[in-house]
Structure 1
Amino acid sequence: MTQQDPSHIATTIDQFTRQSAAFAALPIHSDAEAMALAFRCAGLSGEDHVLDVACGPGLVACAAAATARHVDGIDLTPAMIASAQARQAEKGLSNLGWHTGNVAALPWPEDRFDLVLCRYAVHHFARPEQVLAEMARVCRPGGRVMVIDATPDEASATGFDEIERLRDPSHTHALPRATLMRMGCDLGLTRLDGASYELEVGLEDQLAASACEADAAQMIRERLTADAREGSDRHGFAARCDDTGEVRMRYPISILVWRV
């Protein structure tokens, strides 16, 4: 399967067309502390022309536009771009542009942007190294490339992927932090300081925001409930039961930044 594989593209568009409203409404996707940490790591400034790759409903792009000179967002799914445009209008922002397209072949010339970022999307790419190379290509020399994504450790990566594919069939692989970092360095990029954090969400809230089938949702419940009750972490979500008995799950997130 390549990034251009029609079946994977169709699955991704289908999933995120159905998820577009619920994805944007899930609080963890707009977490203010996580957003601020990412922008600090990126060194976001008022002079920056920013590209948000796989921008989804424009949460990061619109937040960046409050500081940056201009922000462009590109996403494969038209419904996500429509959601992003609505968010821009709601916030009264004028320094944004939106594009529908495949991020494996970005429609810009070389050396166009000061900061190229991608948040919570690399695990949907069939060939993440191809997308990262495209991000580096359109970033000017001296600019920054930033990737933010879930990064399970090696021991739990297989179980993590199993849960995420049940929840969202467009999921490919969540890569360990070291693998992602090596991917950037293999492109000749210079590693800068990054960060890591966790996002915790109730299992039922996450399932409600997803477009998975009922039987898949039940399989996820059973597996993560077992992890929580047994105190194991077979699937990499540090699942636990809170005081009400609700299962809660944590996503291990890494921020990786390179200079071009």
Structure 2
Amino acid sequence: MNQDPFAELKQRQREMWASFAPMAMFTTPVAGHLVKFAHIGPGDTVLDVGTGTGVVALTAARAGAQVTGLDLTPELLAQARENARIAQRHDITWTEGDAEQLPYPDASFDVVLSQFGHLFAPRPDVAIAEMHRVLKPNGRIAFATWPPEHVVGRMFTFVGRHSPPPPAGASPPAQWGNPLVIAERLGTRFDAPFFERGTMSFPALSSEHYRLFMERSIGPMQKLVERHAAEPAKLAMLRAEFDAMVAPYYIDNVVRQDYLLTRAQARG
């Protein structure tokens, strides 16, 4: 068996995203939008890649689908199971696993979904090939991503600019927010994609409140703060840069986080 060249990166991701659960609450309206956009209905077999705390998986299950949720981080899956228990949804299968090595047979699902999850897989071509492989003939894919020109995409760029470079060959997550890049990556495996946009509203008393929440719940921001904890002047400069970046998106006590939805039907 070939060794995964990104095994160390994925282990860091597994650990880094363990604190994400508080943020997941704010993604629940996006999950509703994604499930509706994907035309999920009774009887569909659905895989949610990068399920996190299960917000998309639970939403799809309530729409009548038979759902499997997969995530790399066991702490998030534990929260997903708890969310399913609270919602009295005992029919969802939860799996710890990797978007680049989906542990399912070929042609297992009618629909593959991902809400801000698959974009962290370092090799987009591998992730797309795996999602296509587990789709039934003429199945469909639907996912939510962050456009690079809006606040979360710019946050990715900000963190990348002030962090050690990723391993050679790892793709930046924000590229998944560009429709031209998406169409190229779906390539010959899928028909031409459909797109739709939306806005995730994040309530905050100030841009500083927003930043503090990001520093506590978003792994890359946490690591950035930890890396510069012994350099207070540098950390203050980074925080001021972040606050200035967020300011244009902070209106009426809400940070507007624009996202992109993509849907496409598999060929073959």
**TM-score computed with the length of structure 2 as normaliser:** 0.78
Q: Which residue of 2 aligns with 1:63?
A: 59
1:251 aligned partner, one-letter code? Q
1:36 is aligned to 32
Counterpart of 2:148 in 1: which secondary structure? Answer: coil
Q: CA deviation at 1:9?
A: 1.1
The question of whether the paired residues in 1 share the 8 Å contact of 2:70 and 2:96 is answered with yes
Quick one: structure 1 residues 67 and 194, their matched pair in 2 at CA, closer, same or farther if it must change by over 3 Å? same
State the AA in 1 paired with 2:183: M
Query: Unmatched 5+ residue regions in structure 1?
Result: 230-237
Describe the shift of the 1:46–1:219 C-alpha distance in structure 2 as closer, same or farther (beyond 3 A): farther
Cα shift at 1:192: 4.5
1:225 aligns with 2:204: no
SS of 1:148's partner is strand
Q: Which residue of 1 aligns with 2:156?
A: 161
Aligned-partner residue type, residue 133 of structure 1: A
Task: Show the counterpart of 2:249.
Answer: 239
2:249–2:257 CA contact under 8 A, matched in 1: no
- Seq. identity, %: 21
How many angstroms does 1:239 deviate by? 3.4
Q: Which amino acid aligns with 2:158?
A: I
Q: C-alpha distance in 2, partners of 1:258/1:179?
A: 14
Please give the secondary structure, in 1, of the residue aligned with 2:215. Answer: helix
Query: Please, which runs of 5 or more residues in structure 2 have no aligned partner?
Result: 205-209, 230-234
Whether 1:207 aligns to 2:215 is yes
Q: Secondary structure at the match of 2:192?
A: strand
Count residues in correspondence: 240
* Offset of residue 89 of structure 1: 0.9
Residues 106 and 4 of structure 1: is their aligned pair in 2 closer, same or farther, counting only changes over 3 Å? farther
**Mapping 1:1-260, distance limit 5 Å:** 4-17=5-18, 19-24=19-24, 27-31=25-29, 34-153=30-149, 159-165=154-160, 172-175=172-175, 176-184=178-186, 186-201=187-202, 202=204, 203-204=210-211, 205-211=213-219, 212=222, 213=225, 215=228, 218-227=236-245, 238-240=248-250, 242=251, 249-260=255-266
**What CA distance in whole angstroms lies between the structure 2 residues aligned with 1:58 and 1:167?**
31
Question: Post-superposition shift, 1:219?
Answer: 5.0
Q: Which residue identity lines up with residue 249 of structure 2 in the other structure?
A: A
Pairwise CA distance, 1:54: 1.0
Letter in 2 for 1:161: F
Contact 1:61 1:71 in 2 (8 A): yes
Structure 2 distance, partners of 1:177, 1:113, is 25
Counterpart amino acid of 2:195?
G
AA aligned to 2:15 is: D
Paired AA for residue 54 in structure 2: G
- Alpha-carbon separation, structure 2, partners of 1:196 and 1:165: 25
Cα displacement (A) at 1:79: 1.0
Q: Distance in 2 between matches of 1:43 and 1:158?
A: 27
Describe the superposition over 1:14-63 as per-residue Cα deviations: whole angstroms up to 9, x where unpaired.
1122x143233xx42112xx333212221111010100011111111011
SS of residue in 2 equivalent to 1:43: coil
SS of 1:191's partner is coil
Asked if 2 retains the 8 angstrom alpha-carbon contact of 1:71 and 1:95, the reply is yes
Q: Give how far 1:119 is off.
A: 0.8
